[in-house]
Amino acid sequence: MSERLEEHWPDLLRFARSLAGNVDSAHEIAQESMVRALARNPQLPEIANTRGWLFQIAANVCREWWHRQARESASLAQLVALRDNRQQMGNPLPPEIAEQRERLTDIWEFIQTLPDIQRQVLVKQLVDGSSHQQIADQLGISKDNVKANLCVARQKLRQRFLKIETPAIQQDRSTV
């Protein structure tokens, strides 16, 4: 059982990094997620999509971790406010965490602006782990249509959020 979970550890760590925005916090979230998953060991044979289940636990852990970070940050801010004799203001989350959370919120808000069919195929694939054929059956469209909509949705997201850099190194090589 635990071997099935351990094989997802590298992916879980990368996923936790995308949630938290830094490596140290990612380790904390990934470990906590793995502990919770192992605690529910008897349920494991019934779960078809182990990776998705593990990632969902990590997302829940991340939510709680944000709240905890906010509380700790708030208490620290309160101490500073008491020292400076002023009221606590602004976002209680630490800047690095707040920045990553804001980025994820932006991504989700952009997903919400996609056409219905593109949003549905994207979320069904990522959250439910459904195959192209399953999504096609559920939405009553063809498999090719699902693939095309997924491609378009991803391209829109990349164009919006990924920075474009010219291949300077390759240009240098070609000029030499």
Partner 1 sequence: MNSNPEIPDLCRQGDAWLDGQLPESAAAQFEAHLFQCPYCRSRIESAQEFELEIEAACRLFANSISDTVANSELQESQKLPRPVRSFYNRQAFWAATATIAAGILVILWLAWPPTPAPSGNPVQVTQSNPESQNTTELAKPTVQIAFTGSALAEPAITTERFTFVRVFAVTTVTPKSTASDVSDFQ
The span of 31-39, 72-80, 88-96, 115-123 binding partner 1 (CB under 8 A) equals 115-123
175 near partner 1, judged by CB under 8 A:
no
Which residues, 6 or more positions from 2, have their beta carbon under 8 angstroms from its beta carbon? 38, 41
Task: Mark the segment that binds partner 1 (CB under 8 A) among 1-9, 81-89, 91-99, 162-170.
Answer: 162-170
Contact 156, 114 (CB under 8 A): yes
Place of tokens 């990368």: 14
Q: Which of 84, 96, 124 is nearest to 26 (CA)?
A: 96
> What's the rounded Cα separation, in Å, for the pair 36 and 27?
14
Torsion of CA 130, 162, 60, 22, to 10 degrees: 140
| Of the candidate residues 38, 49, 63, 133, the single one contacting partner 1 (CB under 8 A) | 63
Q: What's the closest the beta carbon of residue 95 comes to partner 1, in angstroms?
A: 18
Least distance (Å) between residue 58 CB and partner 1: 8
38 binds partner 1 (CB under 8 A): no
Sites for partner 1 among residues 85-114 (CB under 8 A): 103-105, 107-108, 111
Q: In the chain, helix, strand, coil percent, each to 5?
A: 80, 0, 20
The DSSP call for residue 149 is H
Task: Considering only residues 122 through 161, tell me which ones interact with partner 1, judged by CB under 8 A.
Answer: 122-124, 126-128, 147, 150-151, 154-155, 157-159, 161
Q: Which residues bind partner 1 (CB under 8 A)?
A: 14-15, 17-19, 55-56, 58-59, 62-63, 103-105, 107-108, 111, 116, 119-120, 122-124, 126-128, 147, 150-151, 154-155, 157-159, 161-171
